[in-house]
């Protein structure tokens, strides 16, 4: 499952990402984490990134993509990945697509966790955090207010309102997000890879919708994979050493196999049709030979083999 996650600050996509990691056993690839790790490890890319950052510049897309590619080569990313926070613009999205195409691992899904701006405003500006560092409880004055205003339910300490959670700052952050993300939404929509999930309701409700989307998105691939595995299993018998590897996945292949068997049975009724259309004899005068000659000529012939030759003659009379 190769996913790009899109969603505003406060959309809850981080929570959904964690749940996806648990359920599908795929890593989340965060470019921030990759940068820190590469710099700490002193790799080639890490040194390039560090020199850019030391010079107060943005790390180039090439370097970031190189780090993502390295990350994808690790075993835990074989079953897929979740990209969060990258790409942020169309050139990055295009470069990512090109890199994934080279790896034959194209993106399968761009998942947008969509939440109305006014709800995001309340989620972000309403946030209050317990000032007691060893407690750190989080509240929201709109959605999960403390019992006593400004006081932590758990430890009684004062609740703090982070300065970057004020309305103006939040609104401009959301505008920046909107400007960045709208083109990406269009980009992935045009590719047919965009799916949107409403980011309101309980975490579990949202996650149910997310996994429903993923299951649907994965179905064609799963079918293709099981077909490939079934094909592999068929070719395997001559070589007794290999079948042990892939016996279980063949389950899904049983469905397609059932269809061909049903078809022969369906053909039988065709023979009965001519018999059912007995009204034809009543209208022997051949008033409507044009229509019937075309559609029913064959059945009539079958019933009365002796008159086969007479039918064509009737046509000629007209």
Residues that bind Zn ion in the complex, under the rule CB under 5 A:
130, 132, 135, 137, 152, 154-155, 157
Q: How far is the CB of 14 from Zn ion (least distance, A)?
A: 22
DSSP assignment letter at 288: S
219 among known catalytic residues: no
Q: How far is the CB of 10 from Zn ion (least distance, A)?
A: 22
Question: Token digits for 169?
Answer: 């700052």
127 among known catalytic residues: yes
Q: How far is the CB of 151 from Zn ion (least distance, A)?
A: 9
Q: How far is the CB of 145 from Zn ion (least distance, A)?
A: 14
Q: How far is the CB of 121 from Zn ion (least distance, A)?
A: 25
Q: Of 47, 173, 246, 292, which one is the catalytic site residue?
A: 173
Q: Of 13, 48, 71, 193, which one is the catalytic site residue?
A: 13
C-alpha to C-alpha distance for 207 and 18, rounded to whole angstroms: 10
> What angle do the packed helices 31-41 and 61-72 form, to 10 degrees?
90
> What angle do the packed helices 167-190 and 117-125 form, to 10 degrees?
140
56 alpha carbon, distance to own chain's centre: 37
Question: Which residue number, 40 or 155, has a Cβ lying nearer to Zn ion?
Answer: 155
Place of tokens 């000032």: 131
Question: Which residue number, 128 or 195, has a Cβ lying nearer to Zn ion?
Answer: 128
**Number of alpha helices (DSSP H) and beta strands (DSSP E) in the chain:** 12, 8
Q: Of 2, 123, 127, 195, which one is the catalytic site residue?
A: 127
C-alpha to C-alpha distance for 314 and 308, rounded to whole angstroms: 11
What is the side-by-side strand order in the sheet with 138-140? 138-140, 127-130, 159-160
2 among known catalytic residues: no
Q: Of 88, 171, 292, 301, which one is the catalytic site residue?
A: 88
Comparing C-alpha atoms, which of 17, 41, 51, 11 is closest to residue 198? 11
291 among known catalytic residues: no
Residue 90 phi, psi (nearest 5): -65, -45
Question: Which residue number, 129 or 181, has a Cβ lying nearer to Zn ion?
Answer: 129
Place of tokens 């023979």: 271
36 among known catalytic residues: no
Question: Which residue number, 149 or 243, has a Cβ lying nearer to Zn ion?
Answer: 149
C-alpha to C-alpha distance for 14 and 67, rounded to whole angstroms: 21
Complete DSSP assignment for 231-279: HHHHHSTTSTTSTTSSSGGGGGGHHHHHHHHHHHHHHTHHHHHHHH-TT
Question: Which residue number, 152 or 194, has a Cβ lying nearer to Zn ion?
Answer: 152
Inter-residue contact 36 to 149 (CB < 8 Å): no
How close are the terminal C-alpha atoms of the chain, in Å? 68
Q: How far is the CB of 36 from Zn ion (least distance, A)?
A: 29
Question: Which residue number, 124 or 152, has a Cβ lying nearer to Zn ion?
Answer: 152
| Residues classed as catalytic | 13, 88, 127, 162, 173
């Amino acid at each position: 499952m190769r996913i790009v996650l899109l969603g505003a600050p406060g959309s809850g996509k981080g929570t959904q990402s964690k749940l996806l990691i648990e359920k599908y056993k795929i890593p989340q690839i965060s470019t921030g984490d990759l940068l820190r790790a590469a710099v700490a490890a002193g790799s080639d890319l890490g040194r390039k990134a560090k020199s850019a950052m030391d010079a107060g510049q943005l790390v180039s897309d090439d370097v970031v993509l190189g780090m993502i590619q390295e990350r994808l080569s690790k075993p835990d990313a074989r079953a897929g990945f979740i990209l969060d926070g990258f790409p942020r613009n169309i050139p990055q999205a295009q470069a990512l697509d090109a890199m994934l195409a080279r790896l034959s691992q194209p993106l399968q899904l761009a998942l947008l966790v969509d939440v109305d701006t006014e709800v995001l405003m309340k989620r972000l500006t309403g946030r209050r955090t317990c000032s007691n560092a060893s407690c750190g409880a989080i509240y929201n004055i709109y959605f999960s207010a403390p019992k006593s205003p400004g006081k932590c339910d758990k430890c009684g300490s004062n609740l703090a309102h982070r300065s970057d959670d004020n309305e103006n700052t939040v609104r401009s952050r959301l505008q920046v997000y909107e400007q960045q993300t709208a083109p990406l939404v269009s980009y992935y929509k045009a590719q047919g890879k965009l799916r949107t999930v409403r980011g309101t309701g309980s975490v579990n409700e949202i996650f149910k919708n997310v996994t429903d989307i993923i299951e649907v998105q994965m179905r064609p691939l799963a079918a293709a994979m099981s077909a490939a595995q079934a094909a592999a299993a068929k070719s395997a018998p001559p070589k007794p050493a290999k079948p042990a590897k892939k016996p279980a996945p063949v389950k899904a292949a049983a469905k397609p196999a059932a269809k061909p068997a049903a078809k022969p049975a369906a053909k039988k009724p065709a023979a009965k049709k001519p018999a059912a259309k007995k009204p034809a004899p009543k209208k022997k005068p051949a008033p409507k030979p044009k229509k019937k000659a075309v559609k029913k000529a064959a059945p009539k012939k079958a019933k009365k083999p002796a008159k086969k030759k007479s039918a064509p003659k009737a046509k000629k009379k007209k």
